[in-house]
């Protein structure tokens, strides 16, 4: 159970034990434990694991065909803009189907290049759309959540761009020294 006050969140665990006498509950023992530290540590561990996963994936980019990666980036950025516009102007189930199809395309292309982080985030977005039953009103109500999911994907594409630029600088630096 989560307990909040103005400045702090406490996580509490409750356990109950019934004391029976003659097949009737005579007493009830309730034990309350503060598990806040364990919950916070678990959250930190999850964040660290997620960060490590992202970093390992970035190392795997070295083995990706540069032409395919460049095409993936270009296409995905176009698709992200299309999804953003579609989210803002949803009017019909057809719009949601188009949204779903576009995110599915991103997921498939990312998976093909072993960009698992992007593929997983796209899959979560697909699942969210399915959970909303392709309903226009429900999807509009969840605009912020869906936009946040899309932002995670775009942020990852931006991370890839930064890595590519840094790699270019390294290459130029070392190739210049080699030739000198």
- Among candidate residues 144, 83, 153, the one with its CA nearest the CA of residue 123: 153
pLDDT at residue 122, rounded to an integer: 96
pTM for this structure? 0.70
The ranges assigned to domains in the chain are 65-179
pLDDT at residue 177, rounded to an integer: 58
pLDDT at residue 78, rounded to an integer: 96
Coil, helix or strand for 4? strand
pLDDT at residue 65, rounded to an integer: 87
Partnered with residue 104 across adjacent β-strands are: none
Tokens standing for residue 35 = 């598990």
Tokens standing for residue 60 = 């795997």
What is the enclosing helix (H) or strand (E) of 10? strand 9-21
How far, in whole angstroms, is CA 179 from its chain's centroid?
44
pLDDT at residue 179, rounded to an integer: 55
pLDDT at residue 175, rounded to an integer: 79
Give me the architecture of the 65-179 domain, per CATH.
Answer: Up-down Bundle (1.20)
Mean pLDDT by 10 residues, the chain (180 residues): 75 91 90 91 91 78 85 94 92 92 96 91 94 89 93 91 84 70
Give CA–CA dist 62/109, Å, rounded: 17
CB 2 within 8 A of CB 34: no
pLDDT at residue 61, rounded to an integer: 78
CB 163 within 8 A of CB 177: no
- Burial of 2-35, coded b for 16+ CB within 10 Å and e otherwise, reads eeeeeeeeebeeeeeeeeeeeeeeeeeeeeeeee
pLDDT at residue 6, rounded to an integer: 73
- Burial of 73-107, coded b for 16+ CB within 10 Å and e otherwise, reads eeebeebbeebeebbeebeeeebbeebbebbeebb
């Amino acid at each position: 159970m989560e307990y909040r006050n103005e400045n702090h969140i406490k996580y509490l665990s409750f356990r109950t034990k019934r004391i029976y006498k003659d097949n009737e509950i005579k007493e009830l023992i309730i034990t309350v434990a503060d598990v806040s530290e364990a919950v916070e540590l678990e959250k930190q561990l999850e964040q660290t694991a997620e960060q490590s996963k992202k970093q390992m994936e970035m190392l795997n980019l070295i083995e990706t065909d540069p032409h395919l990666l460049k095409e993936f980036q270009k296409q995905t950025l176009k698709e992200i803009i299309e999804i953003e516009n579609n989210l803002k102007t949803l009017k019909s189930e057809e719009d949601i189907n188009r949204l779903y199809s576009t995110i599915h395309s991103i997921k498939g292309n990312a998976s093909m290049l072993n960009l698992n982080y992007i593929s997983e985030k796209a899959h979560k977005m697909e699942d969210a759309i399915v959970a909303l039953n392709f309903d226009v009103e429900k999807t509009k109500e969840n605009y912020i959540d869906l936009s946040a999911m899309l932002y995670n994907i775009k942020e990852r594409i931006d991370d890839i761009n930064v890595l590519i630029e840094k790699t270019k600088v390294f290459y130029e630096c070392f190739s210049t020294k080699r030739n000198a």
